[in-house]
Structure 1
Amino acid sequence: MTRTPRRAALKTLALVATGLAMPRLARAAWPDHPVTLVVPFAAGGGNDVTARTLGQFLERELGQPFVIQNRPGAGGEVGINAVADARPGGYTYGILNTPGLVTIPIERNPRWSLDSFTFVASLVEDPAVIAVHPESGIRDVAGLLAAARKDPDGVTIAAQGRGSTSFLSVRMLEMAAEVSFSTVIYNALPQGVVALAQRQVVGTAANLGEALVMSAGQPWRMLGVMAEERSAMAPDLPTFREQGLDISIGSLRGFVGPRGIPPEVTARISAAIDKVSRDPEYIALCARTQQPLKVVVGEPYAASLRAQDMRFRAMWARKPWM
Structure 2
Amino acid sequence: MKHVTNLARAAVLALAGLAATGIAAQAQDWPKGDVDLIIPSSPGGGFDTYGRILAKIMGEQTGVQFVPDNISGGGGLRGAQAAYSARPDGKTFAVFNVPGIIEPIIRGDKVPYDIDKITWIGSMAFNQYIVVVAKDSPYNSIEDLKAAGETITFTGYGSSGLAANRILCGLVGIECQVITGYPGNNDALLGVVRGDAVASVTPITTAASFNTGGDLKAILLMSDRDIAAFPDAPKAGDAGYPELTNLGLIRAFGLPPEVSDEVRARFETAFGAALASAEMAEWAQSTTSPVDPLSGAELKSLIDKQTELLLKYKDVKTGSE
Same fold (TM over 0.5): yes
Deviation of 1:217 after TM superposition, in Å, equals 4.8
Q: Is the 8 A contact 1:197 1:218 kept in 2?
A: no
The match for 1:298 is 296
The 5-angstrom pairing of residues 110-129 of structure 1 reads 110-129=111-130
Q: Is the 8 A contact 2:123 2:292 kept in 1?
A: yes
Q: Which moved more, 1:169-178 or 1:34-43?
A: 34-43
Q: Is the 8 A contact 1:230 1:238 kept in 2?
A: no
Deviation of 1:31 after TM superposition, in Å, equals 5.1
Within the alignment, does 1:86 sit opposite 2:83 as a pair? no
The match for 1:132 is 133
Within the alignment, does 1:168 sit opposite 2:201 as a pair? no
The match for 2:23 is none
Deviation of 1:233 after TM superposition, in Å, equals 6.6
Change (3 A) 1:73 1:144: farther
> Match for 1:180: what amino acid?
E
The match for 1:40 is 40
> Match for 1:159: what amino acid?
G
The match for 1:106 is 106
Q: Is the 8 A contact 1:58 1:276 kept in 2?
A: yes
> Match for 1:259: what amino acid?
P
> Match for 2:316: what amino acid?
K
Q: 1:199 & 1:320 partners in 2: Cα distance?
A: 23
Once the two structures are aligned, what percentage of the paired residues are identical? 23
1:156 to 150, 153, 158: 153
Deviation of 1:216 after TM superposition, in Å, equals 4.6
Report the 3-state secondary structure (helix = DSSP H, G, I; strand = E; otherwise coil) of the residue aligned with 1:238: coil
Q: 2:132 & 2:43 partners in 1: Cα distance?
A: 25
Q: Is the 8 A contact 1:157 1:202 kept in 2?
A: yes
The match for 2:177 is 182
The match for 2:203 is 207
Deviation of 1:182 after TM superposition, in Å, equals 1.0
Q: Is the 8 A contact 1:85 1:258 kept in 2?
A: yes
Deviations 1:76-114 (A, max 9, x none): 222222222223232322221322233322212111121
Q: Which runs of 5+ in 1 are unaligned?
A: 1-26
> Match for 1:118: what amino acid?
T
Q: How many residues align?
A: 290
The match for 1:314 is 312
Q: TM-score, normalised by structure 2?
A: 0.77
Change (3 A) 1:176 1:290: farther
Deviation of 1:28 after TM superposition, in Å, equals 5.3
Q: Is the 8 A contact 1:99 1:251 kept in 2?
A: yes
- The Cα RMSD (Å) is 3.0
The 5-angstrom pairing of residues 127-276 of structure 1 reads 127-147=128-148, 149=149, 151-152=150-151, 155-162=152-159, 164=160, 166-185=161-180, 186=182, 188-213=184-209, 216-217=212-213, 219-231=215-227, 234-246=230-242, 247-248=244-245, 249-276=247-274
Q: TM-score, normalised by structure 1?
A: 0.77
Q: Which runs of 5+ in 2 are unaligned?
A: 1-26
Q: Is the 8 A contact 1:77 1:104 kept in 2?
A: no
Which of these two proteins has the greater Rg computed from alpha carbons?
Answer: 1
